[in-house]
Structures are given as structure tokens and as C-alpha cells.
Amino acid sequence: MLVARDKNGKLINLLDGIPDKSDFYCPACQSPVRLKNGRVIRPHFAHVALQGCQFYSENESAEHLNLKAELYQSLSQTESVEIEKVIPEPEQIADLLVNHNLALEVQCSRLSEARLCERTQAYQNNGYQVLWLLGEKLWLGRRLSSLHKQFLCFSQNMGFHLWELNINRRELRLKYLIYEDIFGKVYYQTKSCSFDNHMMLFLRLPYAKQGLVSYHVQQRRQVGLAIQKQLLARNPRWLRQQELAYSQGCNLIAQSDVDFFPQVRPPQCSRGFCQINQDVSHFSAAFFQYYQKQKDKETQTLYPPAFYDKMKEE
């Protein structure tokens, strides 16, 4: 915790300076907290007895504390920002609340998909927008996990995207135009913004007007052989696909490479994406319609959703 109340009820923000010794209390549950001012982790408050607080559930890492501090100091140069804002409805503490309606949540450790969706829905139901900014342990790698899919956002200009934070480089990173191939490998583009720059403009970038962005992906050859190896290895993903194909009177291995074009596709999630309120099925339909006439291509060019919608209209 970076904020607490003193015995007079005044809110103390450690980013404004270290106070003289006093009694401090949690702004959410009002129980006692103590000031920790050591050499390893930046000064912070910690509950004397955490069991009595329903808002805080675990100790914060140095990465989490430092990222909140950096974001607060950067965003407060241009925006109205409150750090560790207690929001009675929906009974949450936003790591940062920007301009009274944008909650920024710095997530440095894994959490359950159910808890992520519950917190997101609570914010949205009470009129708040929320963005989850991912610490190092949750950075997107070569695979788009089921948890990553619940962190995804969507815009017509930059497609599926998510946000990452790098404390060592002091930057906010946007990974956008996220697609994955039929074997689960993920593809994307990256933009970054230093904490010293205008970060609110960067956070608005997915919805800003911009030029057409695209990139190329080489198509895999001998797809049937690769799928056969996956089936022999009893890969659950391909066993399910083979079962579905059999039910439709087809055989995955017997299909040609052309039948699997395009190999790189928009992310799919049967239970939906908890960060995305809009219907993205029209994007998927326009996407596949566009590539129906390009099945002989050795490379696949990937575009933002707005491009496929325009091609469908034309």
C-alpha cells in the first residue's frame, strides 16, 4: 500500500513524502497498518493483521509498488489521478483511477480467470472502464494462454491487443494486431511509450485514427503431416478437432494445405472475452471471407479489423 490515513483521518500518500511516525490506518477497512521503510522495497504500508481486510488479499511485490508509483507520477502530469482509490461500489481498490472513470489495474501475478472476469464485470456494471496492465510474469510469449485471452481488448484500428509494463525500461507496451495460427503460435506487432512521455495519449492509441498497418506471415507447408504428428502425440487440441471433423464426415489428415488457409486467425474463446463488450463475430466473418480468394498464397498479410470490414463492403 502506498496510501493510508493518519489518526486524524487525513490521507497520507507516500509518493508525496515520508511522514513522521504516527498511527496509520487502512483507507478501506480502517484497521491498523504500519509504515515499512526498508532498503529493499520502496516505503509502503502493510496491514498489522491482513485477515480483517476484504480489499487487500496479499503482500505486494516490489515490481507492483514501483509500477504504481511510476504510473502515478507520469499520468498525474497531465491527468487527474488517484492512487489506490477505494471505490465503495463495486467494493474494489483501483491501483490508479484516472479522470474519475478509468481504472488502471497493475497485474504482476497470476489470478484465476473467474476472479479476473468478476472484477472486470464489477467495474463495468458500475460505469467504470478498466484496463489491465501486465507485469513481467504475465507478458505475452509464444502462446496466447486462456488467461491472456481474458486480458485482451479490441478496437477496429488495432484489433485484439493487450498492455504490458516494463519497470526496468520504464515503459508501457502495447501488443496489437494479435492473431494466432492453427497450432497455437501467436503473432503481433508492438509499440511502446516511455513513462516520461504523454502516457494518456498512448493509452488512447487503439481508438485513434491512423494509417493502415499490416504485416506478413509465412504459411507453413505440409500442414497435414504436422497435424498427424500432433494426433500421434495425443495433443488434446487436435484430438478435439479430429473428433469434430469425423462428426462432419471429414478427415483432417486427408485435407490439403489449401484447406487450412488462412493458417493465422483471430483469437477464439468459446466463453467470450471478458474485457470486450462488443460483438466481434462480424470481424471473424469478414476476415475469413477476405481470404477465400487467396488460398494459393505462400504468405498471409494480416490487417486490422477495419480493413476486412471495408473489403467486405466493397
Tell me the pLDDT tens digit for each residue of 164-217.
Answer: 999 999 999 999 999 999 999 999 999 999 999 999 999 999 999 888 999 999
How would residue 56 be classed by pLDDT, with cut points 50, 70 and 90? low
**pLDDT of residue 24 exceeding 80:** yes
- Among candidate residues 168, 170, 166, 190, the one with its CA nearest the CA of residue 178: 190
With a CB cutoff of 8 Å and minimum separation 6, the contacts of 303 are: 177, 212, 213, 214
Q: Which residue has the higher pLDDT, 219 or 55?
A: 219
Q: Which residues contact residue 72 at a Cβ distance below 8 angstroms, ignoring those fewer than 6 apart?
A: 15, 81, 83, 96
Is residue 103's pLDDT more than 90? yes
Q: What percent helix, strand, coil does the chain show, rounded to 5?
A: 30, 30, 40
Task: Look up cell 475469413; give the residue.
Answer: 288
Residue 188's pLDDT is what?
98
Question: What is the rounded distance in angstroms from the CA atom of residue 43 to the CA atom of residue 32?
Answer: 16
Distance CA 29, CA 53 (A): 6
Domains of the chain: 1-56 (no CATH), 60-214 (3.40.960.10), 215-312 (no CATH)
At 253 the pLDDT is 74
Q: What is the pLDDT of residue 169?
A: 97
Given this model, what pLDDT does residue 48 score? 85
Per-residue model confidence (pLDDT) at position 238: 85
User: Does residue 131 surpass a pLDDT of 90?
Assistant: yes
pLDDT in tens, 61-77: 999 999 999 999 999 99
> Could you tell me the pLDDT band of residue 296, with boundaries at 50, 70 and 90?
low
| pTM value surpassing 0.85 | yes
- Spatial neighbors of 284 by CB under 8 A, at least 6 apart, are 266, 268
Angle at 9 between CA 5 and CA 10, to 5 degrees: 70
Average pLDDT, the chain: 90
Q: What pairs with residue 94 in β-bridges?
A: 85
Distance CA 93, CA 83 (A): 9
Residue range 223-229: mean pLDDT, rounded: 85
pLDDT tier at 305, thresholds 50, 70, 90: very high
Q: Which residue has the cell 494479435?
A: 178
What is the average pLDDT across 25-51? 85
Strands 32-36 and 44-47: antiparallel
Confidence of residue 57 (pLDDT cuts 50, 70, 90): low
Helices (H), the chain: 62-75, 113-125, 146-151, 199-203, 223-232, 236-247, 281-291, 305-313
> What is the percent of the chain with per-residue pLDDT over 90, rounded to a whole number?
61
Confidence of residue 124 (pLDDT cuts 50, 70, 90): very high
